Structure 1
Amino acid sequence: MMSTMRVLVADDHEETLNFIRRGLTQAGHIVSTVDNGREALFRATEESYDAIVLDRMLPGLDGLSILKMLRAGGIRTPVLLLTAMTRIADRVEGLENGADDYLVKPFAFSELHARLNVIIRRPAVLEPETSLRVLDIELDLGKRIARRGGRRIDLQPRELLMLEVLLRNPHRVMTKTMLLERVWDFDFDPQTNIVETHISRLRAKLNADFDQDAIITVRGAGYMIRSE
């Protein structure tokens, strides 16, 4: 059984608004309603809700614009988008802009309630990683910039990728085979010293003017980033 939740419902059609409010209230939920886009945006940003039922065609500010603003502002409240548009492209557009689900009008309250039940139980979407850090070594994943002790280190693309693999596995020995697969996309050993050569170059750049070796060689096994 769904626990009590706070829901914001935004729809300019009075009959639809009352229909949803009555159903959710009878189901034991706390419901706030608005009939225009600007009020919907204000409520959604200033108050806390477990879910938002948002009509796509609202006066003042349309539902899609509200959705974009909420997501751009970091508000991840689950949104069920209501639409009278039946084209798949319109529904896809809503989903691509941050809607968790959509429902085409007219609809049965039981379906709306079931869809709300689903979207509020989905695990929160994790924000993508922007950087990796182990001790004093940091890699900005977006800008592809490496630093040690706050100082920028100029690395070649393969060196950056190798550093990323090591930083993502700080307590794990990365074998030559693993590095060939993840850095060069090789599923075979080319019988060269390509891994050793790049590790040597990466180590030299990371260690320049530093006393402690950033990369540990585990003899007969592989390499790992120093994490303690």
Structure 2
Amino acid sequence: MKKVIHRADTRGYANHGWLKSHHTFSFANYYDPERIHFGALRVLNDDAVKGGMGFGAHPHDNMEIVSIVLDGALEHRDNTGKQEVIRKNDVQIMSAGTGVVHSEFNASKTADVSFLQIWVIPAERDVTPRYDQRTFDPAARENALQVVISPEKNMDALWLNQEAWFSLGKFDAGRTLDITPKTAGSGSYLFLLSGELKVDGEVLETRDAIGLSEYDQAHIEVIKPAEFLLIDVPM
């Protein structure tokens, strides 16, 4: 088994006043040659945007972009005509493909919005840009892993242009679970949103993360009530 541990306080950080952003992987002005990606997982930004503020129209191409709102509401607009609001328990996927221009603004004028923006390198390049969004029942992740993104189009999850799975979990203290790779050659990246876990003997606290590759099975013990995101990607 290979492990990489990313502690919360080792992430890149940018404070623009209206935006506070922690970067798990190299992004914008934060660069660490040891933290470019984990397999096909390229970006994991932990963002907080003040009321009435946001990211103006900007382009992307050939990237699978996932947004998961943790608190508040985020308004999305793009040049395909899409205009949506993403709220807690919503997950958004955008295939940038041949190119898309979009903006993201806090849907509230007063309250902050916090969300994760995650980029995954696509399996197929230059696809037609695509947008999808879904609300997921939080009860389905109580002491269970709830798959919210999958490469399988017939699943009750959003589809991603890559052999990648995203799962959300919310577990009580004292619970245990085992995880295994989704496919031969894939790795698992666990980002702890809150609480405390022990993953294969490594203790993780809020906003810590661990990447596992070349493994058959890993054991997770929940030390304090925990919520986390598990991302499985090709290495």
TM-score between the two structures when normalised by the length of structure 2: 0.24
TM-score between the two structures when normalised by the length of structure 1: 0.24
Higher strand share: 2
